[in-house]
């Protein structure tokens, strides 16, 4: 029987995640010599080299990739023992690392996080805003426990648990021709007056997929600006004209007497928002409580997809 420890497996996972021995040691709360010694001991036990130390950043060898992949499974299964004990306890406790996309965070988090924290004071929640691709990468590396983002992802090894469905609506300046149209179609927004989020944001991709617009015509906006913030785009529509698209939650605070207004599409486009996690996810009880509180905080109309058609972003 091979004599290896969970700690050694955690160390090689950390080095694979950070691709740097010192950073990995800091993340594991050990000294770099201790981490290096344990990894060398594991390599000697297995008779295989896990990392190619001649390259910077450090990369796994071919056999090392397979060893690390199995190590992630073993460590995840080991963590389930702790979760089994916690699920048997009366108190809900533990730690959650959540990634959420920027086009959701300012509108969704205030709806449920305060209540969730009061209901489960023994749960330490750590939240970071990241774009979807970064969330998926960190889920696979076990840096994050769960992501809140737009699906479907069509991503192997990722489980999607749909939460709600937001309408995609038009936010248009009152003097723009689209504000006067009685019936709005997706093709109507394929014009140079469209303010967009910057590349990497899934909502940008959804907007482009919806209207099949690829900037073939020179922009007629007063200047070119791609933002990571929906709030910035809203302000530009109000001050500079043109229009943008918003997810439904981001439209709830729009003033009806402002310089711009919300318009609906004849055929309602939807974005599906889900909890996503890996197949090795072990914190199922915490995940269940998180899902429950999010759904309680959302208007009931958003909980079903029968109001329109889901727009892909990948």
What CATH number does residue 78 fall under? 1.10.10.10
Q: Are 209 and 73 part of one and the same domain?
A: no
Q: Are 297 and 115 in contact, with CB atoms under 8 Å apart?
A: yes
Q: Are 154 and 282 part of one and the same domain?
A: yes
- pLDDT bin (cut points 50, 70, 90) of residue 217 is very low
pTM, full prediction: 0.76
- pLDDT bin (cut points 50, 70, 90) of residue 86 is low
Q: Are 35 and 129 part of one and the same domain?
A: no
What's the distance, CA 233 to chain centroid?
Answer: 21
User: Which of 65, 87, 109 represents a domain boundary (last residue)?
Assistant: 87
- The range of the structural domain enclosing residue 82 comes to 6-87
Q: Are 281 and 160 part of one and the same domain?
A: yes
In a domain, 205, yes or no: yes
User: Which of 57, 87, 117 represents a domain boundary (last residue)?
Assistant: 87
For residue 118, pLDDT over 60 is answered with yes
In a domain, 174, yes or no: yes
Confidence at residue 256, expressed as pLDDT on a 0 to 100 scale: 82
Task: State pLDDT tens for residues 32-53.
Answer: 999 999 999 999 999 999 999 8
How many residues are given for the chain? 314
Whether residue 182 has a cis bond before it, omega within 30° of 0? no
In a domain, 79, yes or no: yes
Tokens 């201790």 found at: 34
In a domain, 281, yes or no: yes
- Work out the burial of residue 226: count CB atoms within 10 Å of its CB; fewer than 13 is exposed, 13-18 middle, 19 or more buried: middle
Task: State pLDDT tens for residues 138-176.
Answer: 998 888 999 999 999 988 888 999 999 999 999 999 999
Task: State pLDDT tens for residues 261-295.
Answer: 999 999 999 999 999 998 766 688 889 999 999 99
For residue 213, pLDDT over 70 is answered with no
Q: Are 151 and 297 part of one and the same domain?
A: yes
Confidence at residue 50, expressed as pLDDT on a 0 to 100 scale: 94
Q: Please give, one letter per residue, the 3-state secondary structure of 206-265.
A: HHHHHHCCCCCCCCCCCCCCCECCHHHHHHHHHHHCCEEEEEHHHHCCCCCCCCEEEECC
Q: Are 77 and 193 part of one and the same domain?
A: no
Percent of the chain having pLDDT more than 70?
90
Percent of the chain having pLDDT more than 90?
62
In a domain, 34, yes or no: yes
CATH of the domain at 252: 3.40.190.10
Q: Are 158 and 172 part of one and the same domain?
A: no
Q: Looking at residues 57-64, what average pLDDT do you find?
A: 91
Q: Are 189 and 266 part of one and the same domain?
A: yes
Confidence at residue 216, expressed as pLDDT on a 0 to 100 scale: 47
Q: Are 42 and 113 part of one and the same domain?
A: no
Per the rule left: phi > 0, alpha: psi between -120 and 50, beta: everything else, 159 is beta
User: Which of 32, 54, 87 represents a domain boundary (last residue)?
Assistant: 87
For residue 11, pLDDT over 60 is answered with yes
Confidence at residue 272, expressed as pLDDT on a 0 to 100 scale: 97
Q: Are 303 and 222 part of one and the same domain?
A: no
Q: Are 10 and 75 part of one and the same domain?
A: yes
Confidence at residue 199, expressed as pLDDT on a 0 to 100 scale: 84
In a domain, 1, yes or no: no
Q: Looking at residues 176-203, what average pLDDT do you find?
A: 88
In a domain, 182, yes or no: yes
What is the CB neighbour count within 10 angstroms for residue 35?
A: 24
Q: Are 152 and 286 part of one and the same domain?
A: yes
What's the number of domains the chain is made of? 3
């Amino acid at each position: 029987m091979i004599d290896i420890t969970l700690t050694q497996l955690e160390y090689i996972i950390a080095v694979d995640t950070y691709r740097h021995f010192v950073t990995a040691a800091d993340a594991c709360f050990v000294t770099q010599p201790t981490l290096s010694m344990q990894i060398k001991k594991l390599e000697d036990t297995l008779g295989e080299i896990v990392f190619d130390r001649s390259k910077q950043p450090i990369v796994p060898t071919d056999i090392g990739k397979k060893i690390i992949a199995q190590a992630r499974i073993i460590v995840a299964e080991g963590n389930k023992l702790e979760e089994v004990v916690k699920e048997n306890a009366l108190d809900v406790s533990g730690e959650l690392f959540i990634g959420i996309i920027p086009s959701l965070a300012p509108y969704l988090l205030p709806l449920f996080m305060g209540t969730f924290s009061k209901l489960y004071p023994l749960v330490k929640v750590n939240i970071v805003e990241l774009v979807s691709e970064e969330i998926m990468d960190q889920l696979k590396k076990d840096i994050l426990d769960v992501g809140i983002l737009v699906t479907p992802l069509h991503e192997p090894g990722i489980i999607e648990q749909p939460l709600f469905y937001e309408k995609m609506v038009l936010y248009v300046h009152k003097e723009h021709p689209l504000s006067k149209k009685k019936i709005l179609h997706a093709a109507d927004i394929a014009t140079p007056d469209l303010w967009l989020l910057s590349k990497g944001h899934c909502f940008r991709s959804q907007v482009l997929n919806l209207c099949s617009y690829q900037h073939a015509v020179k922009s007629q906006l007063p200047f070119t600006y791609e933002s990571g913030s929906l709030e910035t785009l809203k302000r530009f529509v109000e001050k500079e004209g043109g229009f943008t698209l918003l997810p439904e939650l981001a439209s709830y605070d729009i003033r009806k007497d402002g310089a711009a207004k919300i318009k609906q599409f004849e055929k309602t486009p939807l974005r599906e928002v889900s909890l996503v996690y890996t197949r090795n996810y072990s914190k199922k009880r915490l995940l269940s409580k998180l899902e429950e509180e999010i759904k309680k905080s959302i208007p009931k109309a958003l909980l079903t997809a029968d109001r329109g058609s889901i727009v892909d972003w990948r």
